[in-house]
Amino acid sequence: MRPKMRQSVFVGLLILLGATGASARSLEAIRTRGALTLCAHPNALPFASKRDVDPGFQIEIARELAKQLKVALEQHWVVNSFQYRRADCDIIMDAIANPAALAEVGLRMSRPYQRSGVALAVRADSGAASLADLRPGQRVGVQVGSIASMTLSKRGVQTSPFVFEDEIMDALAKNEIDAAAVTPAAIGWFNQVHPDAHVRRIPAFEDDPDLNWNVAVGMLSPDEKLRQGLDAALEALLADGTLARIYAHYNVELRSPK
């Protein structure tokens, strides 16, 4: 599954979780059960996958969180709305850290642990060092209906719409477009699996709050001890470099939340 679809999965999951009216998940109950349950997609690298090798940074981080809580991790693989309705997960990863929005669908958030958003990618042979360096007529690949698409259109930048981020990156590598507005994770992973591509990330949207956000662990109706436990676990994984090492394995930079 591609990154754009992963975002759609997350939105659908929030809606359906919010509609379940699930009871509180306590840390004591999770330890009695012996497992922390995670909802994730089975084929959405670099985020998550069923693969034993390179399972995705969401899976690897969730495993480390479970270890910190002294329990195992169980994955609930979710693809469609039917599976969401049957899913019984304690957490989801990469929840956009907006407490009010998450509260509307029955989720609480951990402390933020990563900074994400939209970046601009260009080929190694491009002379562009910023968005302003793109010449008239040069096209930027964007996801259909995305905020990046609307932002660039308002600035008079010519765009080419795509459904999935990997399609945008493929088009960039094939010289079909001149730049790509995608997540930093998409750029890093593309370079890792296409080592001869040498796609560059350049400054473009760093000052736009709509195109940058913190991410956190989304928790389904946690009690205070579970929330505190996950916050402490994240603190420990940040302090000992575990999170940085996991992200680096997928050629993704760990960025400090703002």
Domain ranges for the chain: 3-115+214-249, 119-204
| Helices and strands of the chain, counted as H and E runs | 10, 13
pLDDT score of 19: 41
What is the model's pTM? 0.86
Q: What is the mean pLDDT of residues 184-208?
A: 92
Listed residue (21, 56, 24) closest to 252, CA to CA: 56
Domains 3-115+214-249 and 119-204 share a fold: yes
- 3-state SS assignment for residue 168: helix
Tens digit of pLDDT for each residue in 97-125?
A: 988 888 877 789 999 999 999 999 999 99
The number of CA neighbours under 13 Å toward the Cβ of 149 is: 13
Q: Which residue has the tokens 């259909």?
A: 144
Q: Which CATH architecture has domain 3-115+214-249?
A: 3-Layer(aba) Sandwich (3.40)
Rounded Cα distance between 41 and 57, Å, is 12
Dihedral angle at the C-alpha atoms of 121, 127, 129, 130, nearest 10 degrees?
Answer: -70
> pLDDT above 90 covers what percent of the chain?
72
Class of domain 119-204: alpha beta
Asked if the model's pLDDT at residue 5 lies above 50, the reply is no
Rounded Cα distance between 9 and 28, Å, is 29
pLDDT score of 47: 93
pLDDT score of 85: 59
Helix axis angle, 242-249 to 224-239, nearest 10°: 70
Tens digit of pLDDT for each residue in 35-53?
A: 999 999 898 899 999 988 8
Q: What is the mean pLDDT of residues 175-198?
A: 94
Sequence-distant (6+) residues with CB within 8 A of 186 are 3, 121, 165, 166, 168, 169
Q: What's the whole-number average pLDDT of the chain?
A: 88
